[in-house]
Amino acid sequence: MTAGEELRLPSGAELRRTGAGTTAVVCVNGGQAAEVEGTWSASLEWLVRRLAPRFPQLLFAEVRYRVKSWRRLDACIVDAREAIRATGAERTVLLGFSMGGVVAISAADEPSVERVLGLAPWIPDRLRLEPLRGKRLDVLHGSLDRWLPGIPGVSPASSRRGFERARALGIDGTYELIPGALHGIALRAHWGRPVPLPGASAWERRVMAQLATV
């Protein structure tokens, strides 16, 4: 599989590579209640396009779920596991945005995974965190993130509870609030390209700092 190529996984999900490094950053998207066909994440795509040139040692691999819904979490987790294996990397970082936090944590017990980086991650109180044992969990969350009618969001307080539960299990990591940042990082314009939201550059700087330690 060459850089820039899109690959259909055995589950029917898709994987898109950027870069040709030997350590993989597998990027998993958010979701919604309705069971709709998966799409490429505008937020993750915007970040990957900005970060990949700065980290030639990393292979960025974006996942397009079959169905992007939290009602189909089991299927999304299978998609993520297949993507991790498809990269062939010996070392993997899972980068999970929003619902992708659940997906990344649930798939963190794959042998190559060393750490999870959650971006505004949804970490439900009922979620089992045992897959993180022996791994690392770092969380970045916008201070203005919240759920509003018709507007998706994840409360920073909820991700903080999840992070503290992980710490209680002996899992190492960091938690950082990004002042003034929203839930999303970018939206997809009608012409197809991702357009950054206010605070996107702050997200970019924090993610860069995390990946610099990989």
Q: Determine what percent of the chain is predicted with pLDDT higher than 90.
A: 79
Q: Which residues contact 68 (CB under 8 A, 6 or more apart)?
A: 29, 30, 31, 32, 36, 37, 38, 39, 76, 99
pLDDT digits 0-9 by tens, 119-160: 999 999 999 999 999 999 999 999 999 876 666 789 999 999
pLDDT of residue 134: 96
Of 79, 61, 65, which Cα lies nearest the Cα of 5? 61
Q: Quick one: CATH architecture of 6-211?
A: 3-Layer(aba) Sandwich (3.40)
Would you say residue 98 has pLDDT above 50?
yes
Q: What is the DSSP letter of 197?
A: P
pLDDT of residue 71: 82
Domain spans of the chain? 6-211
Least confident interval from 57-61, 85-89, 111-115, 150-154: 150-154
Cβ atoms of 99 and 33 within 8 Å: the answer is no
CA 51 to chain centre: 14
Helices 200-211 and 42-51: crossing angle in degrees, nearest 10, is 60
For the chain, the first-to-last Cα distance in angstroms comes to: 23
